[in-house]
Amino acid sequence: MLSAVRQRLLILPKSLLGSTYQANSYATEATFKTSPYKLHLLETGPSTEVTMTRDEGLQYYRQMQVIRRMETVAGNLYKAKAIRGFCHLYSGQEAVCTGMEAAITKEDAVITAYRAHGWTYVRGVSVHGVLAELTGRATGCTQGKGGSMHMYAKNFYGGNGIVGAQVPLGAGIAFALKYQKKNNVCLALYGDGAANQGQLFEAFNMSQLWKLPVIYICENNGYGMGTSAERASANTAYYKRGDYIPGIWVDGMDVLAVREATRFAKDYVLKNGPILIETATYRYSGHSMSDPGTSYRTREEIESVRGKRDPIFNLKEKLLSSGFSTEQDLKNIESDVRKEVDEASEKAKTDPELPLEELYNHIIVDPPSDMRVRGCDVTISAPTKG
Amino acid sequence: MAACRGKSLLTQQAWRFFQRNFSQTTPVAAQLTVRDALNAAIDEEIKRDPRVFLMGEEVAHYDGAYKVSKNLWKKHGDGRIIDTPITEMGFAGLAVGAAMAGLRPICEFMTFNFSMQAIDQVINSAAKTYYMSAGMVPVPIVFRGPNGSAVGVAAQHSQCFAAWYGHCPGLKVISPWSAEDCKGLLKSAIRDPNPVVFLENEVMYGQPFEMSEEAMSENFLLPIGKAKIERAGNHITLVAHSRLVGVCLDAAKELAGMGVECEVINMRTIRPMDEETIVKSVMKTNHLVTVEGGWPQFGVGAEICARIMEGPSFNYLDAPILRVTGADVPMPYAKTLEDNANPQAGNIIRSVKKSLNIK
Ligand SMILES: Cc1ncc(C[n+]2csc(CCOP(=O)(O)OP(=O)(O)O)c2C)c(N)n1
Ligand SMILES: [Mg+2]
């Protein structure tokens, strides 16, 4: 797997790795072989030989650990009734958002469905911003108005609850980017279940006609709720479902393969118009919190993915075998992450909710100054701000 | 159980036999949840009519996202209980086509929020075809699923569609409250030759209700288009549908403690609306408060107000009609905000007092 390691002697300052640090020499850059891709309507695809620096590797590791821990904590907060409603966890799928974010810039746009916590984090919202949104607090990234399914950030358009609806929106964001002559792309993500919604194909057609800079991404985690991909889709080769739109199948558990495919795709769509990436991934949890996730798949299946394909373990092996870090370094990262997430969680539990008058704000932009909003009975009539 | 211990097998059997017979001859009210009532209605109608089938997301193998179709796939098989992909526009259209061609589909929307993906098929295809074809093509279909504000799921998953569908000629729209409503009206809806929108309440599936022996029977039907007076009273009329009927009854109980006797009307059907029951009640009480979970503007309450204005009971009113509704905002996630976006007993009590001029 490790084909070349460029060794440079590197003495790290003690502060970087914490107190258990021992002077060591680390590799700073290495070349890796990614899992293979499958291509649709493409002569050449992304490279299977990629380089990763030590800094990048540790950053991806940290990000994925944060998301994994954040989702575990979210699950616990849910069980403790601090989170209400639906809560769709991203555990197992971390390499998708981490690898993709690594290949784009903050000026590129992203839109996804309700399984949005990981994406919200890599787009720049803090762990606290995510968790406080989940607990419905004013300090959440959408002030507690959106909750689990509706998180937003700069160039991150949510957090969308209606399966498939985000995909034409993504094409529209790409339309706006092109219209404004920006050299940026939009990533429009959807699931294997959403892949059958009619409006996807309407978006595919228009974006191909108009050569929009959109990367469609089907996060294929094998199931849409309790229905396996095979029971819902006449063709489960999702990377081919764009028909006339070129496609790439990528191992969504390999962060480097995801990153490379996204780099390739960004380059491609800026020159040619849309492309479609299918990331083969897996969700460890049930669909949402009320689904134990074991009636339509076996425990063995889940355990086997955890044991053999886990994206974090996958990267960990690379970091260790390339001489980027020691077991201890990674343990230190894990305990830092745990501390960060646990602190954020404590705060998310105790932060205040929005005051009641905020119920009536943000309904429309620039409301007329005398506009009042009716509450639940005739005695309630509230002023509103945009 | 403890009492049986030590008795011979024979006497135990005799005791069980006696118990069985005993419960058959005495009309002991059974408790049934809304979920089980709906399940029974679908089960019975599928057994009764070979043209009836259930189609929707997760309805078969998974027993329904809210477990309404529990065991039905195991019982009736792939031919009658059909899992669809997540393609509302597609499967709603397909179901409408099947209804045009002689079948009796029950088309489940996982929640009515997702019916908006398919609303063209519901209105343009299902509701209007009978009229457009001058009576040649009826569309006997039931669109059903959970409706109304749920808990902690924010704006896209928490809203009431009674006014949306109630607006459209060609549809019948039902919004039941109790288990009895659900069973009797769903069975009637499935047998009805028209497209029926059947709005179950998303947070009431687990709620148990007393069921009479009659309601438990396979022949139990309730008439579409008839409201039910759930509580009689002389001072003021409360008209509500779905979950808010229960909230009205709570409010009525509290108001009774203050000497105010509310008449609570469970609308049951939104379209065609049972104007007569409301009008008669208003003539008796001279006061009216409408109660619903949906938004105020062009809502169910707004329509009732208009009908009272236009109808024979207007001159009987001693005070303006007041509406209790959902707040005029998209549903927020945060708990306190959400609580204040959904009507509570307090809103009803306050409106009743205002109407009756009680300080
Ligand atoms: C239009 C619409 N229909 C149904 C639903 C209910 N629903 C929410 S998620 C989901 C499954 C989606 O599966 P998939 O696209 O594979 O995404 P995943 O949950 O696996 O990330 C369904 C049916 C919805 N939110 N919107
Ligand atoms: Mg999926």
Instruction: Average the pLDDT over B88-107 and give the result.
Output: 98
Confidence of residue B8 (pLDDT cuts 50, 70, 90): very low
Q: Pairing between strand B322-324 and A223-224?
A: unpaired
Q: For residue range A168-181, what is the model confidence (pLDDT) as tens digits?
A: 999 999 999 999 99
Question: Which residue has its alpha carbon closest to ligand 1 atom 7?
Answer: A163
Q: Please state at what angle helix A311-321 crosses helix A327-350, rounded to 10 degrees.
A: 140
Q: How confident is the model at residue B78 (pLDDT cuts 50, 70, 90)?
A: very high
pLDDT value, residue A5:
53
> Which residue of chain A is at minimal alpha-carbon distance from B336?
A356
Q: Which of residues 139-158 of B touch A (CB under 8 A)?
A: 150-157
Q: What is the pLDDT of residue A9?
A: 40
Min mean pLDDT across A1-5, A78-82, A252-256, B183-187 is at A1-5
Collect all residues of chain B within an 8 Å Cβ-Cβ radius of residue A356. 336-337, 340
Does the beta-carbon distance from A231 to B332 stay under 8 Å?
no
Domain B31-216, CATH 3.40.50.970 — does that match?
yes
How many angstroms away from the CA of A242 is the closest CA of chain B? 17
Q: Which residues of B are catalytic?
A: 88, 157
CA distance A206 to A244: 12
Q: Is the pLDDT of residue A279 over 50?
A: yes
Residue B184 has pLDDT above 60, yes or no: yes
Q: B323 and A378 in contact by Cβ < 8 A?
A: yes
Per residue in A97-113, pLDDT (tens digit) is 999 999 999 999 999 99
Find, among A248, A306, A305, A311, the residue nearest to A94 by Cα. Answer: A311
Task: Tell me if chain A has a CB within 8 Å of the CB of B232.
Answer: no
Task: Decide: A194 in ligand 1 pocket, CB within 6 A.
Answer: yes
At residue B70's C-alpha, the angle toward residues B66 and B73, to 5°, is: 125
Task: Provide the pLDDT confidence category of residue A117 given band limits of 50, 70 and 90.
Answer: very high
Q: Which two tokens stand for residue A273?
A: 């118009």
| Angle, CA A273 vertex, CA A270 and CA A278 arms, to 5° | 100
Interval between CA A194 and ligand 1 midpoint (Å)? 6
Every domain of chain B and the residues it spans: 31-216, 228-356
Q: Kind of pairing, strands B322-324 and B288-291? A: parallel
Question: Do B31-216 and B228-356 come out as alike in CATH topology?
Answer: yes
Q: What is the pTM of this model?
A: 0.93
Residue of B nearest to A224 (CA): B86
Whole-number average pLDDT of chain B: 94
Residue B145 Ramachandran class (φ > 0 left, ψ -120 to 50 alpha, else beta): left
Q: Which of A116-125, A131-140, B1-10 has the least mean pLDDT?
A: B1-10
Q: What is the pLDDT of residues B250-290, one digit of tens each?
A: 999 999 999 999 999 999 999 999 999 999 999 999 999 99
Sheet holding A2-7, edge to edge: A2-7, A27-33, A49-53
Average pLDDT value for residue range B197-203: 98
Name which of B205, B162, B158, B206 is nearest B334 in CA terms.
B158
Give contacts of A136 with chain B, Cβ < 8 Å. Answer: 152, 333-335
| Inter-chain contacts counted by CB atoms under 8 A, chains A and B | 160
Nearest to B341 among A359, A378, A379 (CB): A359
C-beta A162 within 6 A of ligand 1: yes
A195-226 pLDDT, tens digit per residue, is 999 999 999 999 999 999 999 999 999 999 99
Residue to mutate (ligand 1; options A163, A282, A287; most atoms within 8 A of CB): A163
Q: Which ligand is nearest to the CA of A198?
A: 1
Q: Say yes or no to pLDDT of B150 above 80.
A: yes
Query: What confidence tier does A25 reach under pLDDT thresholds 50, 70, 90?
Result: confident
Verify whether ligand 1 is closer than 6 Å to residue B114 (CB atom): yes
pLDDT of residue A30 exceeding 90, the answer is: yes
* pLDDT > 90 in chain A, percent: 94
| Residues of chain B neighbouring A374 (CB-CB closer than 8 A) | 296, 325, 327-328
pLDDT number for residue A15: 36
User: Cα separation of B174 and B106, whole Å?
Assistant: 14
pLDDT at residue number B189: 99
pLDDT tens digits along B285-328: 999 999 999 999 999 999 999 999 999 999 999 999 999 999 99
Q: Which CATH code is given to the segment(s) B228-356?
A: 3.40.50.920
What is the model's pLDDT at position B29? 75
User: Quick check: CB of A191 below 6 Å from ligand 1?
Assistant: yes
Q: Which residues 71-90 of B have a C-beta within 8 angstroms of A? A: 83, 85-87, 89-90
* pLDDT of A6 above 60: no
Closest CA to B98 of B39, B142, B61, B65: B142
The set of residues, in sequence order, having a beta carbon less than 8 Å from that of B167 and lying 6+ positions away, is: B298
- Name the average pLDDT for chain A: 94
Mark out the alpha helices in chain B (DSSP H runs). Answer: 9-25, 34-48, 72-76, 88-100, 119-120, 129-132, 162-166, 179-191, 213-216, 243-256, 275-285, 300-310, 335-341, 345-356
